[in-house]
């Protein structure tokens, strides 16, 4: 919901590693919080419209282009 954040208090003491990964403070099901992903460069095949891209797929997608492994990624690359 706009005007609210999800997550934990950043001032709270850290007792264990966070379970949050790549969180930006908003829920993904709110359309107003979506953004645009544009990927271009030498060696990238044209895929056209990628549709709705899960924010968690962006880092694995960039890593894939760079030839870097992200074994802990929870979502696969979009291309």
Question: In whole angstroms, what is the distance from residue 26 CA to residue 29 CA?
Answer: 9
Give per-residue burial for 15-28: e unless 16+ CB within 10 Å, then b: eeeeeeeebeebee
pLDDT at site 47:
73
Q: Which two tokens stand for residue 10?
A: 């950043």
pLDDT at site 3:
58
Nearest to 27 by CA among 59, 2, 53: 2
Q: What is the mean pLDDT of each run of 10 residues along the chain (79 residues)?
A: 58 62 61 76 79 86 91 89
């Amino acid at each position: 919901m706009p005007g609210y954040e999800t997550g934990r208090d950043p001032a709270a003491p850290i007792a264990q590693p966070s379970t949050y990964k790549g969180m930006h403070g908003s829920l993904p099901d709110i359309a107003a919080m979506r953004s645009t992903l544009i990927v271009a460069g030498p060696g990238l095949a044209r895929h056209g419209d990628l549709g709705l891209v899960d924010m968690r797929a962006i880092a694995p997608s960039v890593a894939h282009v760079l030839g870097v492994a992200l074994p802990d990624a929870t979502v696969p690359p979009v291309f």
